Amino acid sequence: MADPAEDPRAPRVPCPACRRETVYSSRNPWRPFCSERCRRVDLGAWASEHYRVASPIPPDGDADEPAR
C-alpha cells in the first residue's frame, strides 16, 4: 500500500488521539487517526466509558412517566 501522505491534495488534520498531523484521505486506512494504535486507544476510551454522549436532563417528576 502506498504511503497515505503521498497525496498532496488531501487535507491534513490533527489525529484525535495524539494530535499529530495526519492525512485525511481514503488512502489512510485509520482516518481520522494517524495509526492503528491511536484508533485502538480511542476505541478503548469509548469502551471504558471515558467518553460519554450527553443526554438531556429529565424534567422533575417521575422518570417513568411519559411526557405529555
pLDDT of the residue at 2: 46
Say how many C-beta atoms besides its own lie within 10 A of residue 23's C-beta.
20
- Give domain 8-47's CATH architecture: 2-Layer Sandwich (3.30)
Which strand (E) or helix (H) includes residue 42?
helix 36-47
Q: Residue range 43-47: average pLDDT?
A: 90
Q: What percent of the chain has pLDDT over 90?
A: 47
> What is the rounded average pLDDT of the residues 20-24?
93
The pLDDT score that the predictor gives to residue 63 is: 57
> What mean pLDDT is predicted for residues 20-43?
94
